[in-house]
Structure 1
Amino acid sequence: MILLTLDKNGEAKYIYQQIYEGIKTGILERKLKFNEKLPSKRELAGQLKVSVNSVANAYGQLLAEGYIYTIEKKGYYVENITQFIQQEDAVKDKLPYDLKEDIEDKEGWLSLSHMTSDISMFPFAEWMRCQNKAVKNHKKELSEILDPQGPYGVRETISRMLGLSRGVKCEPEQIIIGAGSQQLIRQLMAMQARSTVVAMEDPGYSRFYTLLKNMDFGVRPVKLDEKGIDVNDINATKANVVFVTPSHQFPTGKIMPISRRIQLLNWSAESTDRYIVEDDYDSEFKYETDNIPSLQSLDRNHRVIYTGTFSKTMFPGFRMSYMVLPPDLLRDYRRHYSDLMQYSNSLVLFTLHYFVESGGYARHVKRMNHHYEMKRRLLIKELHIRFRGDVDIEDVPAGLHFLAQFRTDKGYEEIEEQAKQEKLEIYSMRRFMLKNKYKEKEKVELVIGFANIHEEKIVEAVDRLYRVIKTGSNLPVFFKKTSTNV
């Protein structure tokens, strides 16, 4: 007889699930011995006073999972189940403390992060119309596996867009679409020899730095001068590949002048194994002047690998980036990744195609360019009013962040900790110092983002930042004076 306790009041699992769980537990705990014959379905149903169907369903599930076996015309028997190895110090069903996540309450927080965007003006209704069009026109493609590089028609649209907006010279075949720049860079670098040496701007994008280090490449951080990364210093590293952000250096905001760009391109042309990875992450946003042409548009020797993203112009959760490969690397890419499945959402890609083709994307970027310029100007003005002579701002009219240097006797750790107390999201230069951990006496540098701070909250955000940097400082404190006029 099998001893099972069932809850028939309807508050627990279905009857057949309770029978299944009870027998399974008995088998795993060795209360039911292997090769032991189980009661027939009708017999067990009678013992438990349940329907035969409930027992049949339970036996069927146990049979499917391998807990029992059946002999024709004889019945059901307990399978010989291998016992689990149980370590004595293992705590059943408990996640180790160091792996638990703290879910922060973001209520009342203000953000000066460089990683955010403002979605309040995104034309979701227009996007949904493009999505409906994608569903209507691409049912066949949506039911199939995409080309590893992304649908040709979408790449063709991106190619035209890049040619018009950034001067990028490429065919649709050269474009690789991916779910984020990190994924694309990982694919690109996985094709390279492990002896490859990479030079990176310092300060620079720490996520790429960590990625490449974890891939066991030799990564050489190179200091910046007033024009950006120094070609002589690149030569000293013996690098084969250099990562740069020439149109809006991350995080300093410097724009690389034409003289330095030509020097960099000449460096790449001196050897067939040299490449430049141009990360054009937020070049769509340029204020007061026209857009700066891409480095790739000047390349005459197919040495520049161009990367860009829609995460800045649309929103970070969009997770759609692209990479433009020179012909020789494209050939290698196709050889390496012929079996790759495209990571991006096919419906999103076709929707983006219609969003760009309809002019909706260009209108959105133009609208946001004006919107961000107003917020940027207001934030810079408020910082000057509040901090007076204790702030110096690298006022480069581009991108979604700028670099600000504050006079204070506090260190980076103290400022970062106090910002949490003030519920103010900020990022200090410490995060982006790859190797050269410089710090000027009584000064700190912050990367100030303005995309996701509402205009009416800018004064409050500056007030919180003032308390973070100046409260408790030995330096002079000035009286509050604010203005909301741009």
Structure 2
Amino acid sequence: MIRIDFTSDHRFIYQQIYSQLRKQILQNELRAHSKLPSKRELAEILNVSINSVKTAYEQLMEEGYIYTVERVGYYVEEIQEFKLAANTQQTFPPNLKETVETRKGWLSLSHMNTNPHLFPFKKWLSCQSKIYNTYISSLGDMPHTQGPYMLRQSIAEMLYRTRGITCEPEQIVLHATSQGLLERIIYMQQKKTFATENPGYARYHHLLKRANINTHLIQLDAQGIDVDYLTNTNADIVITTPSHQFPTGIIMPISRRIELLNWAAAKEERYIIEDDYDSEYKYQTDNIPALQSLDYNQKVIYMGTFSKTLLPGIRMSYMVLPPKWLSLYLDHFALEIQPANILTLYTLHEFIDSGLLEKHVRKMTKHYETIRTLLIEQLYEQLGEHIVIHDIPAGLHFLVEVFTEKTYTAIEEQAILHKLELYTLKRFSLNSLPLIKKSRSIIIGFANIAPEDIPKAVERLKKVLFH
């Protein structure tokens, strides 16, 4: 029996006929090779148009539920019954169900976010509209596996101006994420031993563990990654953040940079991955040149991202490969499809070439310096002798050491209760060693908080830490 709901606004009549017949066939209520009513008969029975029945029958035929015998009619196809395993779960597991949380009333001291209200959307869309006229034919083509050449050329010129890096456009590989780039490096070097900073970027460490890569955790000192400690391991490739160590913020001095480059030069198989994730923002002095700019032995793989300068939602990262690595990359990935959105790639090219990116970075640097200054003033005013601020004028976060009895877990739980987006050193400690301290270290991000919200955010932080 088929029932038609003539009041339904959501399903056409033919869809109702189709779905009910389909269900009856699958549940074996309509036997294999049994004859169905003709289109006219079923239309009269259901009081619907012949076209509705015809469309339903055609869809069922297209999917293989029924077949037709010319000048005879429609018949049910012979279909095997579904066999369900004994442990098949018919309902969705509650532990996998997501809850959509509202962020209303929350304040952010996160290192990950930026303020979308300050992004020049109109100028970005203007760049996007220009590329329709200039590159319309290219938008219909499969992009180069490393990304459009003209964008890589723009990035190469930008890196020379801002980071002192000399490279050819051919050396640049674009990807939607830095994690995706590292995955490709791992794939090319599966037999190598890696090393990462500790504390450091947990997502990279997770990638290495997932790929079963032998990985050493290298401790830090006041100048960044401890090269003596690194030398005593058998690591071939080290991942480091020399311009603004993540998460401590340490800027590696020239003496340590040369020491690290000499470590890489000592053996042919040694390389450095320089993750330059937020070096665009430097306060009080000029930007620190990239480690790669000092690399005369082609031992540094430079990685950068536009997530901090544009928006986290506009996923765009890149790496600069030494020529030897570029040959290896092309051997492995020459046929890979470029994972980043091609429209975004061309828009970014126009955004860089027009000078809009550089202008935006200058504007945001002034804004972030103001926010950073206000935040530090409020932290000292409200928390005073209970904290030590590691005030390194770079990037979009700094480290605050807090003298509190609370555990990291208690701090994280209280932050949720007080609607304060906050991250502690626990998230970035790749083993328990850096956590064995009387004080607690908090990562304070300042890219997504308005000036007027700073006193309130610090007030919430005080409650999180001490109440």
Tell me the TM-score normalised to structure 1 length. Answer: 0.94
Cα 1:421–1:25 change in 2 (3 A) is: same
- Aligned equivalents of 1:36, 1:456: Cα separation in 2: 74
- Aligned equivalents of 1:450, 1:12: Cα separation in 2: 46
- CA drift at 1:102: 2.0
- Aligned equivalents of 1:359, 1:196: Cα separation in 2: 41
Give the counterpart of 1:274 among 260, 270, 275.
270
Quote the residue 1:369 is aligned against: 365
- CA drift at 1:253: 0.4
Tell me, yes or no, if structure 1 residue 113 matches structure 2 residue 110.
Answer: yes
Which AA in structure 2 matches 1:221?
L
Q: Say whether the 8 Å CA contact 2:429–2:435 is kept in structure 1.
A: no
Quote the residue 2:452 is aligned against: 456
- CA drift at 1:19: 1.3
Give the counterpart of 1:351 among 347, 361, 365.
347
- Aligned equivalents of 1:226, 1:391: Cα separation in 2: 19
Q: Say whether the 8 Å CA contact 1:198–1:242 is kept in structure 2.
A: yes
Tell me, yes or no, if structure 1 residue 123 matches structure 2 residue 117.
Answer: no
Moved more, 19-28 or 273-282: 19-28
Tell me, yes or no, if structure 1 residue 319 matches structure 2 residue 308.
Answer: no
Give the counterpart of 2:71 among 64, 70, 73.
73
| Secondary structure of 1:367's aligned partner | helix
- CA drift at 1:89: 5.5
- Aligned equivalents of 1:191, 1:299: Cα separation in 2: 22
- Aligned equivalents of 1:441, 1:358: Cα separation in 2: 50
- Aligned equivalents of 1:204, 1:49: Cα separation in 2: 69
- Aligned equivalents of 1:8, 1:165: Cα separation in 2: 66
- CA drift at 1:108: 0.6
Tell me the TM-score normalised to structure 2 length. Answer: 0.98
- Aligned pairs for 1:279-428 (under 5 A) are 279-428=275-424
Q: Say whether the 8 Å CA contact 1:430–1:437 is kept in structure 2.
A: no
CA deviation map 1:106-149 (0-9, x unaligned): 11111100001123222222111111111111111111110000
Q: Say whether the 8 Å CA contact 1:135–1:347 is kept in structure 2.
A: no
- Aligned equivalents of 1:351, 1:439: Cα separation in 2: 44
- CA drift at 1:43: 2.3
Quote the residue 1:23 is aligned against: 21
Unaligned runs of 5+ in 1: 472-486
| Secondary structure of 1:237's aligned partner | coil
Moved more, 66-75 or 216-225: 66-75
Cα 1:160–1:31 change in 2 (3 A) is: same
Moved more, 238-247 or 117-126: 117-126
Cα 1:12–1:332 change in 2 (3 A) is: closer
- Aligned equivalents of 2:276, 2:17: Cα separation in 1: 60
- Aligned equivalents of 2:80, 2:230: Cα separation in 1: 60
| Secondary structure of 2:443's aligned partner | strand
Quote the residue 2:56 is aligned against: 58
- CA drift at 1:13: 2.3
- CA drift at 1:90: 4.1
Give the counterpart of 1:248 among 244, 248, 252.
244
Which AA in structure 2 matches 1:6?
I
Q: Say whether the 8 Å CA contact 2:199–2:434 is kept in structure 1.
A: no
Q: Say whether the 8 Å CA contact 1:202–1:436 is kept in structure 2.
A: no
- CA drift at 1:91: 4.8
- CA drift at 1:82: 1.7
Q: Say whether the 8 Å CA contact 2:244–2:279 is kept in structure 1.
A: yes
- Aligned pairs for 1:148-159 (under 5 A) are 148-159=145-156
- Aligned equivalents of 1:430, 1:424: Cα separation in 2: 17
Quote the residue 1:163 is aligned against: 160
Cα 1:137–1:49 change in 2 (3 A) is: same
Quote the residue 1:185 is aligned against: 182
- CA drift at 1:450: 0.6
| Secondary structure of 1:409's aligned partner | coil
- Aligned equivalents of 2:294, 2:329: Cα separation in 1: 23
CA deviation map 1:152-185 (0-9, x unaligned): 0010000000010001111000000110101111
Quote the residue 1:86 is aligned against: 84
Which AA in structure 2 matches 1:186?
E
- CA drift at 1:49: 2.6
CA deviation map 1:427-468 (0-9, x unaligned): 000111112433355411001001101110101111111111
Q: Say whether the 8 Å CA contact 1:410–1:442 is kept in structure 2.
A: no
CA deviation map 1:219-270 (0-9, x unaligned): 1111001111112211222001000000000000001111111111111112
- Aligned equivalents of 2:461, 2:87: Cα separation in 1: 48
Unaligned runs of 5+ in 2: none
| Secondary structure of 1:58's aligned partner | helix
Give the counterpart of 1:147 among 144, 149, 156.
144
- How many residues end up aligned between the 2 structures? 467
Quote the residue 1:475 is aligned against: none
Give the counterpart of 1:173 among 170, 173, 177.
170
Cα 1:160–1:12 change in 2 (3 A) is: closer
| Secondary structure of 1:322's aligned partner | strand
Quote the residue 1:201 is aligned against: 197
Give the RMSD, CA atoms, in angstroms.
1.3
Cα 1:12–1:366 change in 2 (3 A) is: closer
| Secondary structure of 1:438's aligned partner | helix
Moved more, 279-288 or 342-351: 342-351
Percent of pairs with identical residues:
49
Tell me, yes or no, if structure 1 residue 238 matches structure 2 residue 241.
Answer: no
- Aligned equivalents of 2:346, 2:125: Cα separation in 1: 12
Quote the residue 1:36 is aligned against: 34
CA deviation map 1:268-290 (0-9, x unaligned): 11222111000000000000111
CA deviation map 1:336-371 (0-9, x unaligned): 112111111111111111111111111100010011
Tell me, yes or no, if structure 1 residue 8 matches structure 2 residue 31.
Answer: no
| Secondary structure of 2:165's aligned partner | coil
Cα 1:21–1:439 change in 2 (3 A) is: closer
- Aligned equivalents of 2:267, 2:73: Cα separation in 1: 76
